Structure 1
Amino acid sequence: MKKGIIKALSFILMTTIILGGMASLPVKAEPSNYKFDFGAGSVEKGYIGVSASDKYNEKTRYGFNTPENMRNVAASGTGAASDAVQFVTYGTKSTNTFNVDLPNGLYEVKVTLGNTARAIIAAEGVYQIINMTGNSATDSFQIPITDGQLNILVTEGKVGTAFTLSALEINKLSHHPVTNRTIYIGGDSTVCNYYPLSGSVQAGWGQLLPQFVDTDAFQVRNMASGGQIARGFRNDGQLEALLKYIKPGDYFILQLGINDTNPKNNTTEAEFKEIMRDMVKQVKAKGATVVLSTPQGRATDFNSEGVHTSVNRWYRHSILALAQEENVPLVDLNVLSSAYFTSIGREATLALYMKGDTLHPNRAGATELARIVAEDLKKQGLNGFVEEKKEV
């Protein structure tokens, strides 16, 4: 009888040890970092090669959702940018996406385009990067993953051009699927990004604003685009993307009006003001801080006394009134930039604009405008801005 009990106890003990050992065996986890090289050419060292025909499957954890709508194409870059895939069907809500399984968390995604005139990056059904231009253009964005998968595609920035992707790098930043504090920017061609980001001749002040931001505290997401009007920013996807992610502690700096005043856009000043008001209210409802900015004038807005002034341009008075009515901070860049232009004179002001163009700043001009914006916001008590220009 005792022998039977001893055998039974021994069996239970052995089973417990075996099961305990199995429980401690490492489980194959989903990767949190990837480097993909797209196209049919050779694969760059350290990258995973992905052809247009590679369909997503649970074993590899990545692939195209509808590879029949993808195409391998050549590209004129080097390394991973020497070939690409083209998205034959596209759109922010398109299911023709490249899918990657990822543990939930916050990620940085770096995108390199192939040969593309102008393209938009969309993920999770909304815009992420607006109007990347030029072959092998590169940019990155933060994105929270909450459903275990990234769904990304390249979509239309300019009608009739190809939308291609050469490389993708994905790196996990945090286990928490919440973006870092963010300064979102809305605007037009005087505000938007130009590529390559680090060396473009033309630039918008939103592109250069990170030089005057404490990037340990904030990231900057420039959602501005050339030719934009208030109705377009609200209705065509940019505000939608912003509202998906913006949160308390974030800022939204909004500068529009230049193109709204153009008769072809059929926007009266009263309509402009109410569309802007609607955007202000929607963002404020998310708990974020809205900042309105007036656009700077033209390089040639000097009077006979050598004073730069453009106070009646670009629906400025309605922007000032709206800021007061909705109790939001205002950067009167129109007046602030005029004071700076007056101080440096006509010729030095012209040197801050694109050659033969009195409206669009060059890189030096965009830097000065970004400095003025940051300095004014710092004076108004908004944190996250620095006085000295820094490299980013």
Structure 2
Amino acid sequence: MKRNVILKVLTIFTMMLAIIGSFSTSPAEAAPSNYKFDFGNGEVEKGYIGVSANDKYDVKKRYGFNTPENMINVPASGASLGSDAVEFLKFGTKSDNTFNVDLPNGLYEVKVTLGDTARASVVAEGVYQVINMTGNNATDSFQIPVTDGQLNLLITEGKVGTRFTLSALEIDKLSHHPETNRTIYIGGDSTVCNYYPLDSSIQAGWGQLLPKFVDPETFQVKNMASGGQIARGFLYDGQMEAILKYIKPRDYFILQLGINDTNPKNTTTEAQFKEYMREMVQQVKAKGATPILSTPQGRATDFNTEGVHSSVNRWYRNSIIALAQEENVPLVDLNVLSSAYFTSIGPAASLALYMNGDTLHPNRAGATVLARIVAEELKRQGLDGFTGEDKKNQ
């Protein structure tokens, strides 16, 4: 009797060990959560995985190009990682010519380094992730949730006729939960967008500098603004689609357009502009997030003979203000707020905040001033996460 009991106990113990073993996956079998890829056919940087244009996706390797016949290896003018790249011959937000990487579901930080290109955008999961990276070896990063076990990424059109290249890719897992951290999304034009290198560009948009005045423990900032943009284009050409894919309750969306909409070549009436803007505001509201409208700042030379800066009748400002009231959303009247600042420092100091020979586009110092004004106003209105202080230089 005792022997039978002992045998049963041993049998149960053996079965338990087998079950426990079935849940244990060896490191060789586990899908990695972090990768560093060096693209092209040159020497592979230490610590990186070399990927050539003809490397087709392999389920055993867990990475590769979906259609390598649409890829070529190309040289690049940078050093080490930036000395070579792959070029995407087929592209577009819905293209299947992607670089695929198997990943456990979760939230990832993806860092992209381009090869030689004048202007290119990054697409992943069928939508824009980074808009208009400019210059050779430009680098940027973004958060992305992976929910289907695979990241699908490509470099696509930022400007017609330029090359769309990729030199390096770094992927790091941030969380097991496939949802972005709280995010401030930004929509706008060339006075708002990013310029590269991000940390040292001479020209800058205020959206590029806004992270200086945002608590990084509360928000990440995702600037989807682009040069020359109008409300109709932002709404229908992919930027708004990308925001709506990820925006969620407790996120913010700051939208500033109007400068290019008033250009006759864009054939946008003020009434049409207002309705395009309204549609974006309502789409964000429907996601449970908070839309914020901003009016564009004026030109450096908008001073009257008494030394007062004013541009209150420019760029469909009145329709932006009316829309904010009608939709009951926060408004940053950057037009008036920046004019008050420019008046306080005078014409010469104001002009010094703009690019040389350009009275519309701010330089890095000017973009920093505008970003601080935006953050201070939103903090004053009680929106959380805005410091009004340069956190990166403290």
Give the TM-score range, shorter chain. over 0.9
Identify the residue that residue 202 of structure 1 maps to in structure 2.
203
Q: Which runs of 5 or more structure 1 residues have no equivalent in the other structure?
A: none
Amino acid at match of 2:15: T
Identify the residue that residue 361 of structure 1 maps to in structure 2.
362
CA–CA distance in structure 1, aligned partners of residues 3 and 174 of structure 2: 57
CA–CA distance in structure 1, aligned partners of residues 10 and 131 of structure 2: 65
Identify the residue that residue 157 of structure 1 maps to in structure 2.
158
Q: How does 1:62-77 map to 2 (within 5 A)?
A: 62-77=63-78
Q: How does 1:186-335 map to 2 (within 5 A)?
A: 186-335=187-336
Q: How does 1:350-389 map to 2 (within 5 A)?
A: 350-389=351-390
Q: How does 1:163-202 map to 2 (within 5 A)?
A: 163-202=164-203
Question: Alpha-carbon deviation of 1:216?
Answer: 1.1
Q: For 1:313, what is the secondary structure of its paired residue?
A: coil
Q: For 1:206, what is the secondary structure of its paired residue?
A: helix
Query: For residues 379 and 22 of structure 1, do their structure 2 counterparts lie closer, same or farther at Cα, with a shift above 3 Å needed?
Result: closer
C-alpha distance after superposition, 1:367-389 (max 9, x if no partner) = 00000000000000001011221
Larger CA deviation: 23-32 vs 228-237: 23-32
What value does the CA root-mean-square deviation take over the aligned residues?
A: 1.7
Query: For residues 307 and 79 of structure 1, do their structure 2 counterparts lie closer, same or farther at Cα, with a shift above 3 Å needed?
Result: same
Query: For residues 67 and 24 of structure 1, do their structure 2 counterparts lie closer, same or farther at Cα, with a shift above 3 Å needed?
Result: closer
Question: Alpha-carbon deviation of 1:6?
Answer: 8.8
Question: Alpha-carbon deviation of 1:25?
Answer: 4.9
Amino acid at match of 2:243: L
CA–CA distance in structure 2, aligned partners of residues 179 and 55 of structure 1: 30
CA–CA distance in structure 1, aligned partners of residues 13 and 262 of structure 2: 82
Tell whether the 8 Å contact from 2:373 to 2:388 is kept in structure 1 after alignment.
Answer: no
Q: For 1:243, what is the secondary structure of its paired residue?
A: helix
CA–CA distance in structure 2, aligned partners of residues 341 and 14 of structure 1: 79
Amino acid at match of 2:370: L
Query: For residues 214 and 21 of structure 1, do their structure 2 counterparts lie closer, same or farther at Cα, with a shift above 3 Å needed?
Result: closer
Tell whether the 8 Å contact from 2:99 to 2:154 is kept in structure 1 after alignment.
Answer: yes
CA–CA distance in structure 1, aligned partners of residues 25 and 271 of structure 2: 64
Q: For 1:391, what is the secondary structure of its paired residue?
A: helix
Question: Alpha-carbon deviation of 1:3?
Answer: 12
CA–CA distance in structure 2, aligned partners of residues 362 and 352 of structure 1: 6
CA–CA distance in structure 2, aligned partners of residues 338 and 3 of structure 1: 93
Question: Alpha-carbon deviation of 1:178?
Answer: 0.5
Identify the residue that residue 129 of structure 1 maps to in structure 2.
130
Residues 1:19 and 2:18 are matched in the alignment: yes
CA–CA distance in structure 2, aligned partners of residues 24 and 158 of structure 1: 49
Question: Alpha-carbon deviation of 1:59?
Answer: 0.3
Question: Alpha-carbon deviation of 1:120?
Answer: 0.5
C-alpha distance after superposition, 1:108-152 (max 9, x if no partner) = 000000001100000000000000000000000000000000000
Q: For 2:392, what is the secondary structure of its paired residue?
A: coil
CA–CA distance in structure 1, aligned partners of residues 309 and 267 of structure 2: 29
Question: Alpha-carbon deviation of 1:13?
Answer: 6.2
Amino acid at match of 1:129: V
Q: Which runs of 5 or more structure 2 residues have no equivalent in the other structure?
A: none
Amino acid at match of 1:219: Q
Identify the residue that residue 145 of structure 1 maps to in structure 2.
146
Identify the residue that residue 337 of structure 1 maps to in structure 2.
338
Q: How does 1:3-42 map to 2 (within 5 A)?
A: 12=11, 15-16=14-15, 19=18, 22-23=21-22, 25-27=24-26, 28-42=29-43
C-alpha distance after superposition, 1:236-290 (max 9, x if no partner) = 0000000000000000000000000000000000010011111110111000001
CA–CA distance in structure 1, aligned partners of residues 212 and 179 of structure 2: 24
C-alpha distance after superposition, 1:318-374 (max 9, x if no partner) = 000000000000000000000000000000000000000000000000000000000
Query: For residues 13 and 216 of structure 1, do their structure 2 counterparts lie closer, same or farther at Cα, with a shift above 3 Å needed?
Result: closer
CA–CA distance in structure 2, aligned partners of residues 334 and 25 of structure 1: 60
Amino acid at match of 1:16: M
Amino acid at match of 1:166: S
Instruction: Give the ranges of 4+ consecutive aligned residues of structure 1 lying more than 2 Å apart after TM superposition.
Output: 2-28
Amino acid at match of 1:199: S
Question: Alpha-carbon deviation of 1:29?
Answer: 1.3
Question: Alpha-carbon deviation of 1:9?
Answer: 5.3
Query: For residues 179 and 20 of structure 1, do their structure 2 counterparts lie closer, same or farther at Cα, with a shift above 3 Å needed?
Result: closer
CA–CA distance in structure 2, aligned partners of residues 388 and 360 of structure 1: 23
Amino acid at match of 1:19: A
Tell whether the 8 Å contact from 2:215 to 2:391 is kept in structure 1 after alignment.
Answer: no
Residues 1:87 and 2:88 are matched in the alignment: yes
Q: For 2:242, what is the secondary structure of its paired residue?
A: helix
Query: For residues 10 and 85 of structure 1, do their structure 2 counterparts lie closer, same or farther at Cα, with a shift above 3 Å needed?
Result: same
Question: Alpha-carbon deviation of 1:12?
Answer: 3.6
Query: Aligned pairs, how many?
Result: 391
Question: Alpha-carbon deviation of 1:215?
Answer: 0.9
